A and B are shown apart, each in its own frame.
Chain A
Amino acid sequence: MNRELIYAYCVSASMSEPGGRPEFEGLQVVSSGGFYAVVKNVQECDFSEENLKKKLSDLAWLDLNVRSHVTIISMLMEDHTVIPFNFGTIYRSEESLKKFMGEYSNAIVQNLLLVEWKEEWAVKLYCNQDVMKAQIDNLSHEAAELEYQIMASSPGKAFLLTRKKADLIDLEIDRLSKSYGQEFFNEFNALSASAKLINIIPKEFSGRNDKMILNAAFLLPKDKTIEFVSLLGRLQKKYAGIGFELEGTGPWPPFSFVSIKENQ
């Protein structure tokens, strides 16, 4: 038998019945103890524990559903402060969802206060090492010094120094990545209420040739958006020439900043 399950999008302390947009079709509000969860009834064939696991490896299904999860929460965020649920959070019954809102009421209130009037912005920094290598004499005093010595040396000595320089370049790229990465992070962080470092995505997942050196999320007060975006634009322009690519996305629901852990 194909039972219905409850798919949860977000929980809030205020919520009107979602409507008026095609994306909101089928959404319902479950309320309890002053909290409102926005949910949708879904079929067990997609979202039972066993079936959800199978569906996760279907990228077309995943893409559609993850996108819709984020879109719906983002739209609700336009009018309400919400705590987003992780993608694929399912309750077996309304009672079970209401029980959650009752048992975790303190955590829900704390999280709502934390994210009120704020949005999540994501910044990823990539370094194209080939571009940086080509500029290394301009970026590193030590590399420039060594290059000068190579030019002034006999062919034999120049050969040895060139090998030494290759090692130095790797170290210098590492050092420059760290120091610029930290500087960029600090600048974004200065505008934010909170920041989180997220795992670096390796090349085999990103499908990119350059290397991700920073993956960060910032919880940004809404009145800082313009400043944040213009900082991003400024840094993008200023550092593209030496191989840094900054990718910024947002506003997102504050997925990285809410934390309601299961009671142990």
Chain B
Amino acid sequence: MYDNVIDRSKDITILELLDRVLNKGVILTGDIVISVADVDLVYLGLKLMLSSVETMEQLKAGKMITEK
């Protein structure tokens, strides 16, 4: 029933997980909590990672190799 439709936990991306656990900024109290500014840092880190993955892929594909 669930096959093909629902991505079960091991296929869940970190982006999806973060979207669930960090996107809110409404909950909860605690002596230490992750602030909205911290969440921005997380996404910035993710962006850097994604762009470096892209760079790697481009390098692999030879798109960025010009001359030596």
Contacts and interface: CB of A to CB of B under 8 A. Distances in A.
Interface of A: 5, 8, 47-49, 52-53, 56-57, 59, 62-63, 66-67, 69-71, 74, 85-92, 96, 100, 104, 120, 122, 198-199, 201, 204-207, 215, 226, 229, 232-233, 236, 247-250, 252-253, 255-256, 258-263
B34 interface: yes
Nearest to A231: B5
B20 interface: yes
The 4 closest A-B pairs by CB, nearest first: A90-B32, A89-B30, A87-B21, A88-B34
Contacts, number: 141
Contact of B42 (A57, A204, A229): A57
Contacts of A53: 38, 41
Given A70-B20, A252-B20, A255-B24, 14 more contacts: A53-B41, A67-B17, A88-B33, A89-B32, A92-B31, A96-B31, A100-B29, A122-B20, A205-B50, A249-B6, A255-B20, A255-B21, A256-B24, A259-B27
Of residues A59, A205, A215, A263, which shows the largest number of chain B Cβ atoms within 10 Å of its Cβ? A205
A63 B28 contact: no
A48 B33 CA distance: 10
Contact of A199 (B23, B34, B41): B23
SS of A interface (majority): mixed
Interface residues of B, number: 41
A58 B54 CA distance: 19
Contacts of B20: 70, 120, 122, 252-253, 255-256
